[in-house]
Amino acid sequence: MCGIIGYTGNRQARDVIISGLKRLEYRGYDSAGIVIGNGSIQLVKDKGGMANLESILPEMKGQYGIGHTRWATHGPPLKKNSHPHLDCKEEIALIHNGIIENNMALREELIQRGHKFKSDTDTEVIVHLLEELYHGNLEEAILKTVARLEGSYAIAAIHAKEKGKIVGARNISPLVVGIGKKENFLASDVPAILEYTDRMIYLLDEEIVTLLKDEVKIMDFQGKPVKRNWQKVEMNIEGAEKSGYEHFMLKEIFEQPDVIMDTFIGANLNTENGYSLNLKPDTIKIIACGTSYHAGYVGKYMFEEFAHVPTTVEIASEYRFSSITTSNPLIIGVSQSGETSDTLVALRIAKKRGLNTLGIVNIVGSTITREVDHVFYTRAGLEVGVAATKTYITQLIALLALAIKIGVAKETLGIDDARYLSNQLRKLPKHVRTILDGSEQIIQLAEEISKSKSMFFLGRNMNFPVALEGALKMKEISYIHAEGYPGGELKHGPLALVTKETPVIAIAVKDQTYEKMLGNIGEVSARGATVIGIGTEGDTELPKYADHVIYIPKVPPLFTPVLVSVVMQLLAYHVANVLGCEIDKPRHLAKSVTVE
């Protein structure tokens, strides 16, 4: 949830750290801080985002240091809760991403021994433990400290007396080392340091790393040395720039034709061998959170239609409480970052139950990719906007491709049918561009509904989870209350809330639910609601029921969620833009949810 960066080398650390923190701000922007080491601890921190920190930042000389951008968990977003935190002697500075589950017990224990706490955070117990356990060697103090900690964490610390040294530790929360020439880096995520190096070492759980400008050492929590080679990262920093768009979110929406094709090519459906897959599950369970959950929910219909595999979808944070299944399903975890804590924990539980696991992930080398039995990569590239757009769309493409492959493997889908579907999938980028090029109508409708206090999104069958995602996008970036419902559920309660002040966005594409959806639209129209229908190109019936119609190109029914979702994204974006909302950084939310 928070962003961590550390630097040691020959440059001025202040500049490197500030640059990295700006690229990590998607992970948290409640507060930010920086420490530079130069024989003493130079600390600047405050509530608010990076713009606020930069406005108060003095000249800071020194060639090593650490920085942090926070998404508040323990304690409100106040200056006193900002990172880095210092020990009582102000010799040790520490930053932390994660949650220390036994922090209250540790805090009480430390207070009894005379420690004075200045913040409400769980993080501060770590720096006080370090203070007690430090006897001239920071690595040894970290090693003893992590033995006392319970929970998820990535930490980085420096000591005023150990010039040029940064020590980090990881348990569950992500941490990556960047290898440079006479300089080394530490960060929560690759983009923070990609400007300086493309050589990375991904730390694993229960590992400690020591960085000097010309040396990197890794050991496990038992103190045993770990040898690991760096990996070259195939990503460029251009993905972190807005490229002329007003917001990252809009840029990423317009990148979707390209990333759809990239994911399609990666799925290898354009070759004869691309349909071969050694997976023939009898059942499938998809586990995910948030937007990824909605993608997984759409995937349920894909697997059942193409592969005839009964599929269930479960919110990852609830999976641990479910009973052990006896049907030996394939467990599919969907996560953009590959670090989503609830999804990671659920997959680990599935592994302990002896189940076959597969991850659909965007980030190569992330924790989920290392722990599952199979990996299916999306190829969305770097996504900066907190509200998922292109990563969600590529998840849908990956699920489509996987469903086709499993269908061929189980012989529920003939090779000719698979080729037809692949050819239709190849056309999706063109269809998405058509929607993007015609977005002027969506901008006008956004103006019209932007003053609403509440909205309903309706869909049926495979487009019900698309309605859920449309509602989520609207509320997370515009702060307008929005709910997604199956069209048939209106009469079971929600209809009581429909008035002329309640716009309804209804997905009424030409599929098996079309006639039923027209009836549902009639129900809300009779209550005076303004209806925006999303229909299939050429449909002349829908305009008789809806006040406005946005058309999508004609595609096979199971491909419609991709195109409808693009419409929903644009509508939410333009409503939020009319309202002047902080679109890329919606309040209280962070990009990568690495705490439970």
Catalytic residues, by residue number, are 2, 591
What 3-state DSSP class applies to 445? helix
Question: Who contacts 361 (Cβ-Cβ below 8 Å, separation ≥6)?
Answer: 335, 336, 337, 338, 368, 369, 375, 376, 377, 378
* DSSP H helical ranges for 438-582: 440-449, 464-478, 514-525, 560-578
What 3-state DSSP class applies to 22? helix
State the burial class of residue 15 (Cβ atoms within 10 Å of its Cβ: 0-12, 13-18, 19+). exposed
- End-to-end Cα distance, the chain: 10
Pairing of strands 31-37, 3-8: unpaired
Question: Who contacts 584 (Cβ-Cβ below 8 Å, separation ≥6)?
Answer: 26, 247, 248, 249, 384, 385, 386
How far is 73 from 580, CA to CA, in rounded Å?
26
Question: Who contacts 349 (Cβ-Cβ below 8 Å, separation ≥6)?
Answer: 319, 320
Question: How many helices (DSSP H) and strands (DSSP E) are in the chain?
Answer: 18, 25
- Supply 212's token pair: 């000097």
Q: Find where tokens 């103006």 sit.
A: 447
Of 428, 456, 434, the closest CA to residue 558 belongs to 428
Beta bridge partners of 97: 154
What 3-state DSSP class applies to 578? helix
Helix (H) or strand (E) holding 352: helix 341-352
Question: Who contacts 221 (Cβ-Cβ below 8 Å, separation ≥6)?
Answer: 143, 146, 147, 171, 206, 207, 208
Q: Identify the DSSP state of 325.
A: P
Question: Who contacts 258 (Cβ-Cβ below 8 Å, separation ≥6)?
Answer: 429
